[in-house]
Chain A
Amino acid sequence: MAEAARVNETDRIKVKPNISRGDRIFDIVNMTLIAVSVLICIFPFIHVLSISLSSSRPIMSGEVTLFPKEFTIEAYVKVFSDPSMIRSLGFTVILTAVFTLFCMAMTIAAAYPLSKSNLKGRGFFMVVIIITMFFSGGIIPEYILVRNLHLLDTMWALILPGLISPFYLIIMISFFKGIPDSLEEAAEIDGSSHFRTLLRIILPLSMPVIATLSLFYAVGRWNGFMDTLMYINSPELYPLQLKLYQLIQNNMATELMRNEVAGTANMMPESLKAASVIFATVPILIVYPWLQRYFVSGVMLGAVKG
């Protein structure tokens, strides 16, 4: 279906009649503005990249801005030759994938019934869910819960407590609501069960929002580490961001650490921190370009027509 949709999109561009002057000015202004934003947004990334490729002296003296100084790849050699980093990358990928899969299954299962405005009890369920957006028991009872469920120091401690984000659930519901009722009614008349309608009609039509929310869940898991600090003790279960956080945070001269004797805080070179940032960020960065294939226009239109 995605292929067909892409054809649709190119068609739209080709079909364009002769472009007017106003249109051209609009395009130029528009693209220039976007290009400027792009430059502003890529700057920090380039900056961190440059630091990761520079030697210590120019970094410490604040000379590195946009280009590496005294070029070296030593930091990357160190990162890639650290088996715990590689293992952590593997674990994070698996954790993120499993988490995203579970979250999406649960979110879809909840969103589909709740998108039916005639479902009895819908209002009550929604209030029950929305309350959890604001009220929480706090860190201590949550820790006790995870411990009593015997999840401490397992991957599931990082998955189960965050299965459904009410916010993403609401987005999913509002997308499902946007799907014309006529489609579902037609299916129902054909004798299709709700399960079947969901799988065969609703989900294929919702690929853009499924892709979006998968990305949101995946990025949230990839970047999150506060729960790992509480629930995980074994170094084998350290996600990348936790290692990264420790690298960056533990070397900062905070008030708490001022009492520690010089030399105890084992300072990491800045370039190693920067290389670790790149190492931990690039894998998740490439997920979006890959997901963009599901962001094609005309999917829903084609289905309605067909």
Chain B
Amino acid sequence: MKTSTYLRRYWQLYFLLILPLAYFAIFKYGPMYGVQIAFKDFNFFQGINGSEWIGWDGFREVFQNQDFYRTLRNTLMLNILDLIVSFPAPLILAIMLYEVKALWFKKLSQTILYIPHFISWVIIGGIVYQVFGTQSGFINNLWVSMGFQPIPFLTDPNYWLITYLLTGVWQSAGWGTILYLAALTGINKELYEAAEVDGATRMRRIWHITLPGLRPTIITLLIINLGNMVTIGFERPYVIGNVAVQEYSDVLSTFVYRIGLESGQYTLATVVGLFQAVVGLIFVLGANFAAKKTTGEGIL
């Protein structure tokens, strides 16, 4: 097609893109010059442009810090466990909800299941303590009264992982169902009716109709998740973690908080951020490539 014909036909699409692209240019790429802090000895009063160039010294310092590797390892470990445990949870829950026939029950449970998403981590931290504490926790009180030894859910690193994962599932599963439920509305109902006539069981129908219907959504979310393998929220590990399990709960975001905010070393914090960005971008592009190869779907 000739460019002129192409433009005449599609100019409206480019017109629609003008404002969004301007937004990305101004608000996202505009401040991007801040990335150079990673290569400068940042001085608060010289500003970003006035600070001195130090080349790769910042990177050298970060890559020589033993805490960096420890927190990177923990970040990866917690994210991979989350991918195994917390990623499928909303999917399963959404399918379960979809199978419920009583509308009132469905709507009520949906509404309640997503409440934990709205409770701030500070409050969740207090509740976790009350439920999982060794000496006065609700579960251990029950457990001990049955004659067993208390379980150190919060102070033993391995038990702590379980607590961390369960809390994550609890906090995000209900919220995560929303997207799947929206996707499920796109599935053609006639498929189910036909399958029923054929005598397919519920499980078979879920396997052959529901799951394939959700495939694009699952793949999109999976790719994004993989892109975030080396980033991790600050609050969850911080609030649920404690001194006794720090060998597991200390992650990149807490590391950045310590060096960046508490010690004022913005150079090092920016270096870590840049490292995370590069790795994240490689992961997301790689995952997208793999998804395209295997399923023909991707986000690009």
Contact = CB atoms under 8 A, between A and B. Distances in A.
Q: Do A and B form a real pair? A: yes
B20 A110 contact: yes
A137 interface: yes
A138 B274 CA distance: 10
Contacts of B138: 65
Given A140-B34, A223-B118, 11 more contacts: A26-B99, A110-B17, A134-B280, A135-B35, A208-B183, A216-B178, A281-B118, A295-B185, A297-B189, A298-B189, A301-B188
Contacts of A131: 281
A285 B224 CA distance: 26
Interface string A201-242: 000000011011001100100010000000000000000000
B30 A295 contact: no
Contacts of A145: 26-27, 30-31
A125 interface: yes
Interface stretch (A36-44, A69-77, A91-99, A258-266): A36-44
Nearest to B102: A31
B216 interface: yes
A131 B285 CA distance: 10
Contact of A34 (B29, B109, B122, B136): B109
Interface of A: 8-9, 12-13, 15-17, 22-23, 26-27, 30-31, 33-35, 37-38, 40-45, 47-48, 62, 65, 106-107, 109-110, 112-114, 116, 119-120, 123, 125-138, 140-142, 144-145, 160-161, 163-164, 167, 170-171, 173-175, 177-178, 193-195, 198, 208-209, 211-212, 215-216, 219, 223, 244-245, 248-249, 252, 277, 281, 284-285, 288-289, 292, 295-301
Contacts of B29: 132
A240 to B, nearest CB: 12
Contacts of B2: none
The 7 A-B residue pairs with the shortest CB-CB distance in the complex, in nearest-first order:
A137-B31, A137-B34, A141-B31, A110-B20, A141-B34, A113-B13, A134-B277
B122 A289 contact: no
B242 interface: no
B16 interface: yes
Contact of A42 (B112, B224, B227): B112
B34 A301 contact: no
Contacts of B28: 132, 136
22 contacts: A30-B96, A31-B102, A41-B112, A42-B112, A109-B19, A116-B13, A120-B10, A123-B300, A133-B280, A136-B273, A137-B35, A145-B26, A145-B30, A163-B27, A171-B179, A171-B220, A175-B182, A284-B118, A285-B118, A289-B111, A297-B184, A297-B187
Given A34-B100, A45-B115, A138 B6 contact: no
B80 interface: no
Interface of A is mostly: helix
B198 to A, nearest CB: 12
A174 B30 CA distance: 28
Contact of A134 (B96, B266, B281): B281
B48 interface: yes
Contacts, number: 250
B6 A120 contact: yes
Contacts of B30: 137, 141, 145
Nearest to A132: B28
Contacts of A44: 115-116, 119, 123-124, 127
Contacts of A31: 100, 102, 105
B60 interface: no
B185 A125 contact: no
A177 B136 CA distance: 53
Contacts of B13: 112-113, 116, 119, 194
